[in-house]
Amino acid sequence: MKGYTYTTETEAQEAVNACNSYYGIPVAPDDVTQNWVMYQFAELNDPQFWYIIYDSSLDVVLGAPTEFEVIQPDFSA
């Protein structure tokens, strides 16, 4: 997976806030779109981390993405 990883939830939220600020989101407090991007938590990974999946619109704010792996739960059972 390509994207951005963070060791704390605070760092991930700061990245979201930076994207929101850059793109002017939300325009109004009652807008449907409240965030430009959102982070997720890789709870099955060791060590655990927060991450944002890459989109080219994030380059200007977050820089170049990195490659990382997220372990997904087994839903086949």
- pLDDT tens track for 29-73: 899 999 999 999 999 999 999 999 999 999 999 999 999 999 988
In a domain, 15, yes or no: yes
- In this structure, the number of other CB atoms found within 10 A of the CB of residue 66 comes to 12
In this prediction, residue 77 carries a pLDDT of 63
In this prediction, residue 76 carries a pLDDT of 76
In a domain, 58, yes or no: yes
- Asked if the model's pLDDT at residue 25 lies above 70, the reply is yes
In a domain, 76, yes or no: no
Closest CA to 6 of 54, 52, 37: 52
Domain count across the chain? 1
In a domain, 74, yes or no: no
In a domain, 77, yes or no: no
Give this prediction's pTM: 0.90
What confidence category does residue 74 fall into, taking pLDDT thresholds of 50, 70 and 90? confident
Parent domain of 36: 2-67
